[in-house]
Amino acid sequence: MASDWLGSLVSINCGPTLGVYQGEVSSVDQSCQTISLRQPFHNGVRCPVPEVTFSAIDIKDLKILEIRNGNTQNNSSVSTKTSSAPVAVPKGSSSSRGANQATPKKNGVKNGISQMKQRDDECFGDGMDDGLDTDFDFEGNLALFDKAAVFSEIDTSERRNGARSRGTPHEQTPSRYRHDENIIESKPIVYRQITVPQPGAKEYCTDSGLVVPSIVYELHKRLLSVAERYGLTLERRLEMTGVCASQMALTLLGGPNRFTPKNLHQRPTVALLCGPHVQGAQGISCGRHLANHEVEVVLFLPNFVKMLDSVTSELTLFSKTGGKLVSNIKDLPDTPVDLIINCLDCHENTFLMDQPWYRAATEWANQNRAPVLSLDPPISGQGQAVEAKWSLSLCLPLPLGEGAGRVYLCDIGVPRQVFQEVGIKYLSPFGCKFVIPLHSA
């Protein structure tokens, strides 16, 4: 009976032109020699119509995949000839609708929904998604790629052509570099780039590890003397020292976080304690630059009958800035200031420490509780009555004591040939800066 085949799953081969169809048998018409499949697949892809009807003349082969009618189900593929199918396959040609002339059922709303789905598939997809029932085996396909053989072939080809090899997986893994390390091969770094004939008692090093030796005061004085002979006069050195010291002081006072147009009403106050010597002139130069940067500067300098010409010249310039000059300790601020710059000490005249004005100035500084920056302090052993938090040395550092605090170095523009003339092998440790911090080696 033809009804016995209804619901079975079959595969119909219609030749190379029409292809292969699979689906569930929905109807068999023996009189018309046709068979219809519900929810058909064409060459593995779901058809856009719910039902397809085939004529016996177009069927080349028919296989029963699963018999669902009755209690017996056979999941194996059963190959049959067309004569064993429920449709008789006559010889010769006859007219039929063919596999490509699908006749959808006209069952109202269901048919309308199917037609809408068909239009959606035609507009928005090619119907391939329904056939992707299995996941792609990435691991299996990757295993087919022999990386070692491919890299070996590339390496052989590059060596033959004279090109540099990129390396193979069997080669050693290159070293990892930090963000601040140079990955390009270069000459070994020499960390001792400065050597002196008369080293001081201490050695320092920069943030990058360069060794900066200290020098004795006699060599320091001879270096400045040769520099002056070449044209680096005292006035030039005072200006360089003043600029560098003021720049360091501005940083200590807050830098760009404090010196903004919004903070003009909160101008920092700096007290400068100066003596009648070169170190005092350097402090006055620093005070002039600070005053030009809207800092409230109070300069203490005792009255002397005779002062150095450099001190007098710097005072003349400072008086034009609007800064305050006092000669009595009582005129210094009685409240803590933001910063004290100590320029009271001299390298050569240690007798100043016995003067009343010196003792009064150091006592005021120690009681003010403000941080102290010592400018060009003397070597260790000569004594410092004011304990500093920072000290700024010039050109090359002197062996400073513990009371100097953290040591910084200032570039005052001494040419390299001047160093060579006094027997110092010198390569600048400053890099892109004029003031750098030093650490005890």
| pLDDT tens figures, 190-246 | 789 999 998 888 899 999 999 999 999 999 999 999 999 999 999 999 999 999 999
State the pLDDT at residue 106: 43
State the pLDDT at residue 95: 35
State the pLDDT at residue 149: 79
Q: In what order do the strands lie in the sheet with 199-205?
A: 211-215, 199-205, 439-440
Domain at 2-131: CATH code: 2.30.30.100
State the pLDDT at residue 262: 79
pLDDT, tens digit (0-9, with 9 covering 90-100), for 308-336: 899 999 999 999 999 999 999 999 999 99
State the pLDDT at residue 164: 52
State the pLDDT at residue 323: 93
Enter the tokens of residue 428: 């600048």
> At 342, is the secondary structure helix, strand, or coil?
strand
What type of residue sits at position 41?
A: F
> At 324, is the secondary structure helix, strand, or coil?
strand
> At 325, is the secondary structure helix, strand, or coil?
strand
Q: How many helices (H) and strands (E) does the chain have?
A: 10, 18
**CB-CB contact of 274 with 343 (8 Å):** yes
Domain at 199-259+266-440: CATH code: 3.40.50.10260
Q: Which candidate, 366, 375, 374, 299, places its Cα nearest to that of 336?
A: 366
State the pLDDT at residue 277: 92
State phi, psi for 403 to the nearest 5 degrees.
-70, -5
Q: What is the DSSP string of 365-404?
A: HHHH---EEEESPPPTTS--SS--SEEEEESS-----GGG
Q: Which residues of the chain are modeled with pLDDT < 50?
A: 71-91, 93-110, 165, 167-170
State the pLDDT at residue 308: 87
State the pLDDT at residue 381: 58
Residue 21 CA, distance from chain mean position: 60
State the pLDDT at residue 315: 94
Residue 79 CA, distance from chain mean position: 68
In the chain, domain spans: 2-131, 199-259+266-440
**Is the model's pTM score more than 0.75?**
no
State the pLDDT at residue 313: 95
**CB-CB contact of 77 with 65 (8 Å):** yes
How far apart are alpha carbons 262 and 238 in whole angstroms?
A: 32
State the pLDDT at residue 33: 86
